[in-house]
A and B are shown apart, each in its own frame.
Chain A
Amino acid sequence: MNHIVCLAYVPDTETKIKIGADGKSIDESDVKWIVSPYDEYALEEAIKTKETKGGTVTVVTFGPAKADVGLRECLARGANEAVRIAADGLAQVDSLGVAKLLAAAIKPMPFDVLWLGNKGVGTDAQTLVPMLAEFLDLPHVNLVTKLEWKDGAVTCWREIEGAKEVVETPLPALIAAQKGLNEPRYASLKGIMAAKKKTIAVKTPADLGVDVAAVSGDKAAVRWTKLELPPARQAVKLIPADDPAKAAEELLRLLRDEAKVL
């Protein structure tokens, strides 16, 4: 069984985001980049399945040259091949554009399962999964936390509001991972040394026949006009609790008069 895993290289979830000088992009100077955690679940499941059932795992990303570091990390964990669609120098491309680019890159590749995380932790748009499935004319199952392989099909457990839904889909299919699917492995040093010897196939949007100008910058369907940080948290107010009755009274007063929530 062959697997393709699409992944995003995103700011570490612990990064303190700063807004760039233009007010609508993030300042990337002190950002540590990581493979998006949800994509890690997808990759882990693909590698695990490859290890038991044979086949290959190819990782694909749309990103700038620095995303090669993320791809190499995936190779070190056990992916066989890596493809990067070069985003260097492009104006911002929205999810629709990314879906078009990924679809164009993936179309000629043979695969049984296309894997994604249910969302990137970058912009959290959560739109890529269905769009990519549409462009590739694939069934898709999102928010998957457990799988059972069958001949030419797979049963997926997916999280829905307050319950689990069990669905079966024929292959090839797009499966999007949710937290809880597995515990992603570390790479190993041996994996890193093996990954060092591999080349990452870099393709430009033009190579893929995608008119990127039509899906980026001013032409993108979704444009960022402004970024704002959440308001700074107010200082904590500690109520001395020497006398519980008095403390409760004070808390009520604050909730009513200052926070105005009562």
Chain B
Amino acid sequence: MAFGGVDFLGIDDMLSPDELAVRELVRDFVESDILPIIEECAWEGRFPRELVPRMAALNLFGATISEYGLPGLGNVAYGLIMQELERGDSGIRSFASVQSALVMYPIYSYGSKAQKDRWIPALGKGEAIGCFGLTEPDFGSNPGGMRTAARKDGDSWVLNGSKAWITNGSIADVAVVWAKVGGPDGKVRGFLVEKGTSGFTTSEHRMKMSLRASVTSQLAFQDCRVGADALLPGVEGLKGPLSCLNQARYGIAWGGIGSAMATYTAALDYARSRKQFGDRPIASHQMVQEKLAFMISEITKGQLLALRLGRMKDAGTLKPEHVSLGKRNNVWVARECARLAREILGANGIAGEYPVFRHLANIESVFTYEGTHDIHTLVLGQAVTGIPSYNPPAP
């Protein structure tokens, strides 16, 4: 039976016909192209690269951009894409997030015309893959401490340093790399580094237990020389990478709901058909119902939250702390739903015939990346108290 969505509160009534059409399109794609192969991919630790041209043909990359022949979707429609992709798999959603929000967005917003002309069409068509290098082995939650440095040398820039945990790193044709210019206290700037540039190497993180259908890599720069035209001219400081993350995190607020829909639906179907203690489905037990009631309540609240964020984003009133609220809450919802679904499925909760354990493992990555749950807690804390506790002012 095809996935009919989860809409306890009739929230579909708040979506426009084209938003619904976008969701149906991506939902069908997930159903026919992702779900049949994804369990196998995750098991083998393989990113299904064959999906890239198909996703590009649907215009899933850079969908909010309206130049360069891209569709110019509103933010709710964009969010629905992320929701549906993550209903399939967080790794596939991560690929699309990185390509769109972390690579196309900065090139489109901060790039020169030549940079845009070169990369936006290719990335949109899936002919080129991008990655976003911010995190370093020693700097995750605190990217401002980064050590990767760029030094001007005549007409070129020379990069030195390393990046860790970079989605798409070793399959990327272009890396958006954030580096400091002018020493440890210098300004963070963005650079476009192409695959194959001498002094630039990548290696994959092995033995990942989560997001196994996605490539995660280390990037190393050793006297890596790029042209003056590799610099993203339009932005300076941490604002550059943080503005990108803000885009991606907004999508993750929707993605979390997609993951939760997948585990909730699996749990509900299972609870209705699995019988224990006589001829009663386990769904008839109060403790099982409590779990399902919790899931549907949190999913519904999360849907409303994501939708509100989308409308605010379209209206230009969305602030970073609102996005933190959405990312933090909805990934938590996904994580709780995955855990409860796994309980409801009993032994099958750990089996690959059901999507639950894959989502359960995947969501651990999502919980940590794009600002950990706790870091977003602190963003909210600062928003309401005015005191930045992760980097408190001197007493």
Q: Which A residues are within 8 Å of any B CB, using their own CB?
A: 12, 14, 16, 30, 32, 68-69, 72-73, 76, 186-190, 192-193, 195-196
Does B361 make an interface contact (CB < 8 A)? Answer: no
- B residues 23-76 in Cβ contact with A at 8 Å: 24-25, 28-29, 57-60, 63, 69-73
Among the listed stretches B13-21, B139-147, B189-197, B383-391, which one makes contact with chain A, having 4 or more residues with CB under 8 Å of it? B13-21
Listed A/B pairs (6) with beta-carbon separation below 8 Å: A69-B17, A186-B28, A189-B60, A190-B71, A193-B72, A195-B21
Chain A residue contacts of B25, Cβ below 8 A: 76, 186-187, 189, 192
The answer to whether B70 touches A192 (Cβ under 8 A) is no
Does B1 make an interface contact (CB < 8 A)? Answer: yes
Q: What 20 new A-B contacts, CB under 8 Å, besides A187-B21, A190-B70, A196-B17? A: A14-B1, A16-B1, A32-B4, A68-B17, A69-B17, A72-B21, A76-B21, A186-B25, A187-B25, A187-B58, A188-B71, A189-B58, A189-B59, A190-B69, A190-B71, A192-B21, A192-B22, A192-B71, A193-B72, A196-B18
B96–chain A nearest beta-carbon distance, Å: 12
The answer to whether A186 touches B58 (Cβ under 8 A) is yes
Chain B residue contacts of A68, Cβ below 8 A: 17
Does B2 make an interface contact (CB < 8 A)? Answer: yes
Chain A residue contacts of B60, Cβ below 8 A: 189
- The CA of A196 and the CA of B25, in the complex, are separated in Å by 15
B76–chain A nearest beta-carbon distance, Å: 13
Chain B residue contacts of A72, Cβ below 8 A: 17-18, 21
Q: Chain B: how many interface residues by the 8 Å CB criterion?
A: 24
B81–chain A nearest beta-carbon distance, Å: 8
Residue on B nearest A197 in the bound complex, by CB: B18
Most chain B CB within 10 A, of A12, A189, A190, A195, is at: A189
The answer to whether A192 touches B4 (Cβ under 8 A) is no
- The CA of A195 and the CA of B71, in the complex, are separated in Å by 11
B63–chain A nearest beta-carbon distance, Å: 5
Chain B residue contacts of A196, Cβ below 8 A: 17-18
Q: Mark B162-192, 1 if CB is under 8 A from A, else 0.
A: 0000000000000000000000000000000
- The CA of A192 and the CA of B70, in the complex, are separated in Å by 12
The answer to whether A12 touches B29 (Cβ under 8 A) is no
Chain B residue contacts of A190, Cβ below 8 A: 59, 69-71
- The CA of A12 and the CA of B4, in the complex, are separated in Å by 11
* Interface residues of A, dominant DSSP: helix
Selected from A14, A30, A32, A189, the residue in CB contact (under 8 A) with B22 is A189
Given known A32-B2, A69-B21, A72-B17, contact A188–B57 (CB-CB < 8 A)? yes
Chain B residue contacts of A12, Cβ below 8 A: 2
Chain A residue contacts of B63, Cβ below 8 A: 189
- The CA of A189 and the CA of B20, in the complex, are separated in Å by 11
Chain A residue contacts of B72, Cβ below 8 A: 193
- The CA of A186 and the CA of B54, in the complex, are separated in Å by 10
- The CA of A69 and the CA of B18, in the complex, are separated in Å by 9
- The CA of A16 and the CA of B29, in the complex, are separated in Å by 22
The answer to whether A186 touches B21 (Cβ under 8 A) is no
Given known A193-B71, A196-B18, contact A188–B59 (CB-CB < 8 A)? yes
The 5 A-B residue pairs with the shortest CB-CB distance, nearest first, are A189-B59, A189-B71, A190-B71, A196-B18, A193-B71
- The CA of A125 and the CA of B72, in the complex, are separated in Å by 42
Chain A residue contacts of B20, Cβ below 8 A: 69
Selected from B57, B73, B81, the residue in CB contact (under 8 A) with A193 is B73
- The CA of A193 and the CA of B1, in the complex, are separated in Å by 29
Residue on B nearest A13 in the bound complex, by CB: B2
Chain B residue contacts of A14, Cβ below 8 A: 1-2
- The CA of A181 and the CA of B2, in the complex, are separated in Å by 24
Chain B residue contacts of A32, Cβ below 8 A: 2, 4
B84–chain A nearest beta-carbon distance, Å: 12
B269–chain A nearest beta-carbon distance, Å: 13
Chain A residue contacts of B1, Cβ below 8 A: 14, 16
Residue on A nearest B32 in the bound complex, by CB: A186
Residue on A nearest B61 in the bound complex, by CB: A189
Chain B residue contacts of A188, Cβ below 8 A: 57-59, 71
A250–chain B nearest beta-carbon distance, Å: 25
Chain B residue contacts of A30, Cβ below 8 A: 4
- The CA of A193 and the CA of B22, in the complex, are separated in Å by 9
A138–chain B nearest beta-carbon distance, Å: 33
- The CA of A80 and the CA of B385, in the complex, are separated in Å by 56
Residue on A nearest B2 in the bound complex, by CB: A14
Most chain B CB within 10 A, of A14, A30, A190, A195, is at: A190
- B residues 335-391 in Cβ contact with A at 8 Å: none
